[in-house]
Amino acid sequence: MSEPNSHAHLWPGVPLALGSAALFGAAPPLCKLLLDSVNPFMLAGLLYLGAGVGLALYRLARGTGAGEAQLTARDMPWLALAIGAGGIVAPVLLMFGLSLNTASSSALLLNLEGLATMAIAWLVYRENVDRRLLLGAFAILAGAVLLSWQGEGVAFNLGAVLVAGACLAWGLDNNFTRRISATDPVVIAMLKGLVAGVVNVGLALAAGASFPPASIVAITAAVGFFGIGVSLVMFIVALRHLGTARTGAYYSLAPFIGALLAIAILGDAITLKLAVAGLLMGFGLWLHLSERHEHEHDHEELEHEHSHVHDEHHQHHHDGPVSEPHSHWHRHAPMRHRHPHYPDLHHRHGHG
């Protein structure tokens, strides 16, 4: 049975993924202003610490439950892999890569993160990726590459290999995080921010950097809280609803959003390159938004815990009234039906 609202499957995953890209895209223009006062190593550390500490304070204010499933012992290996790959290995590879490579070449190579995220989701985790999604993702990626193009191409040296390695590590991070995306996204993002922040600040201090004035620390922390922390929370929730490949594709819009903000904040010029990149990304976005993956499919019996409401996939009994959304261990009986869907928590099935 199809849903009466033909766009219901877009909510809330697509707005969350786009919101995550918008917040992350806003960070680079603001960081460019901060680089006049902060060492790059230290800036990276303070951004992540701002994200981690800010989310820790938010979690204290909202309470520990908030209708979300909590991390368990079986989630810890995936969390450790995600933090290790995305919070420690990737930033270290990137910093060393940047020191050995040109800025323009590195900017081009950083677009490999979206490609790595989608490729791993498709080839390793067997997410459904059809030609429409591939075309849309490559249109968005082409726009991002065009925005990064400085006319110098890619330098194939050790620095380029290290930057590409950082992108692969972030692609792995995104796919590892998908495995635990049913649990509290605030806790996941908080732990990532705290660990990555401590590591990067430690690297900065070891390299001879010093802390900037308190006012700059506060501003940097605020940028990190929204541009990394809140953005990552939205990204994780989007993973639940869209799967990794689609969330990563939407997230690739961040450079374009950052370019638009650079025009508004820094007074950058509107160029033909920006216009063409916008058209490419707009085309890719339209292909994704107009995607309608609908077919008859089976749900096998499944038991798990995550935040949910009593929708078509959650028809179970409670002893007494409950508020929604809520989280508890629940069982899904086998069922077969037809409706538009993404590879979310309940639709990670194979396709012939």
Dist. CA 81–CA 73, nearest whole Å: 14
Count of domains in the chain? 1
Q: How far is CA 320 from the centre of its chain?
A: 37
Domain-embedded: residue 209: yes
pLDDT in tens, 214-239: 999 999 999 999 999 999 999 999 98
Domain-embedded: residue 159: yes
Domain-embedded: residue 335: no
pLDDT in tens, 241-285: 888 878 888 887 877 777 777 788 777 778 888 888 888 888 888
Domain-embedded: residue 146: yes
pLDDT in tens, 169-217: 999 999 999 889 889 999 999 999 999 899 889 988 998 999 999 999 9
Q: Which tokens is 301 given?
A: 């019996």
Dist. CA 233–CA 17, nearest whole Å: 10
Domain-embedded: residue 27: yes
* Structural domain that includes position 216: 17-294
Of 95-99, 131-135, 212-216, 225-229, which range is least confident?
A: 95-99
Dist. CA 236–CA 161, nearest whole Å: 28
Q: Could you give phi then psi for residue 6, rounded to 5 degrees?
A: -70, -15
Domain-embedded: residue 313: no
Start-to-end Cα distance in the chain: 21
Dist. CA 220–CA 215, nearest whole Å: 9
Closest CA to 285 of 172, 140, 106: 140
Q: Is the pLDDT of residue 1 over 50?
A: no
Domain-embedded: residue 26: yes
- pLDDT-derived band of residue 3, with 50, 70 and 90 as boundaries? very low
Q: Give the pLDDT confidence score for residue 219 in this predicted structure.
A: 94
Q: How far is CA 87 from the centre of its chain?
A: 13
Cβ-based burial of 123 (10 A; exposed 0-12, middle 13-18, buried ≥19): exposed
Q: How far is CA 282 from the centre of its chain?
A: 19
Cβ-contact 187, 70 below 8 angstroms = yes
Domain-embedded: residue 336: no
Q: Give the pLDDT confidence score for residue 6 in this predicted structure.
A: 56
Q: Give the pLDDT confidence score for residue 2 in this predicted structure.
A: 43
